[in-house]
Amino acid sequence: MHVINLRMHELRKLKELPLEAGVLNTEALMLVLRRKSFPDKIERVFKYLDAQDDKSIMSKKIYTVTTLNQLDEYLELQELVIPDAIIYVNNHIGGFGIPLIPEHRNLGAIIHDDNVSLKEKIFYLEQLGNIIDKVERIHLSDNRFQFGDLNEFNFVIDRENQVKAIDLDSAYLGIGEPLHMAYYLLKNQYVKSIPEKYKSTSSGIIIPSDNTDLYCYNMILLSALSGENLYRYSIDIYYQYLDYIKRMGLPEQIIRSFQNIYIPKNNINPREYLEDIDTDLEEEYQFKNFVKTSQL
């Protein structure tokens, strides 16, 4: 890993990384770090955590970042943008340096943009599903790694239209208490009713697993299809909507993947079936049309 030293007056001169409309960052200050002295000549985003995070959280993030940099299987996975530098500010650890993805777009901004076609959204979500599958295949044979807070805003699209995973200092490596619970788990009151599937710590934080990562992925896909956050609705309405999109012609394998979320069976990665979605039925899949045609 690189070690980068800054003085406070140098920190104050750094510019914030511009974020797209609709993309929020509440965890840290994201600064663009340019240095001609970098051996690899790669610009970095400085994720400045010192002012926000306590020492225990910072130490967990340091452990995660340093461990990922020692695992060749993950370093070779080009879709993962692993923080590769620890940055000191006035001789204290201030955060991490992450290779900057030039001219990137945020996947979350695309998923929630009504002007982006369903066909384009599915193109990127298929890539996301493939990334999840690759990570799962690695840790089944060796080192465990979970995204944990897997949500669309933690992925970007580079100028070659390839999806990349960012925010990996918050990943879970299977040791100790998770840093926090995934966004999509926090928003859903029903997942804790299946404790044998979505296991929790003694403090009530759901532990990241393949089931939680795939639950989040399915919720992202549902959001792209429906134009709505389905975790906000009762299980009855959820399954009514699934019956509706099944009648509209959505592939049965994808419906089954959505159905598994609320039953004590392992979640499914539906990425191999996304190419079978008839994207010409984009309007028909919308939750608002389901509401119009039902008794709700």
Look at residues 226, 212, 224 and name the one whose alpha carbon lies nearest to residue 261: 212
Q: How many CB atoms lie within 10 A of CB 217?
A: 27
Model confidence pLDDT, tens digit, residues 195-216: 999 999 988 899 999 999 999 9
Domains of the chain are 2-99 (3.30.200), 105-292 (1.10.510.10)
Order of strands, sheet of 29-33, starting from the edge strand that comes earlier in the sequence: 2-6, 85-89, 92-99, 44-48, 29-33, 15-16
DSSP, res 177: S
Q: How many CB atoms lie within 10 A of CB 159?
A: 10
Model confidence pLDDT, tens digit, residues 101-126: 988 999 999 999 999 999 999 999 99
Q: How many CA atoms lie within 13 A of 136 on its CB side?
A: 17
Q: Beta strand pairing status for 163-165 and 155-157?
A: antiparallel
Model confidence pLDDT, tens digit, residues 217-244: 999 999 999 999 999 999 999 999 999 9
Q: Which two tokens mark 16?
A: 């914030």
Look at residues 153, 164, 157 and name the one whose alpha carbon lies nearest to residue 108: 153
Segment 31-60 shows an average pLDDT of 74
Concatenated DSSP letters of 245-270: HHHTT--HHHHHHHHGGGTTS-----
Look at residues 128, 124, 138, 132 and name the one whose alpha carbon lies nearest to residue 76: 138
pLDDT, the chain, mean: 89
Q: How many CB atoms lie within 10 A of CB 54?
A: 8
Model confidence pLDDT, tens digit, residues 152-187: 999 999 999 999 999 899 899 988 888 888 889 988
Concatenated DSSP letters of 152-167: GGGEEE-TTS-EEE--
pTM, two decimal places: 0.92
Burial class (CB in 10 A: 0-12, 13-18, 19+), 96: buried
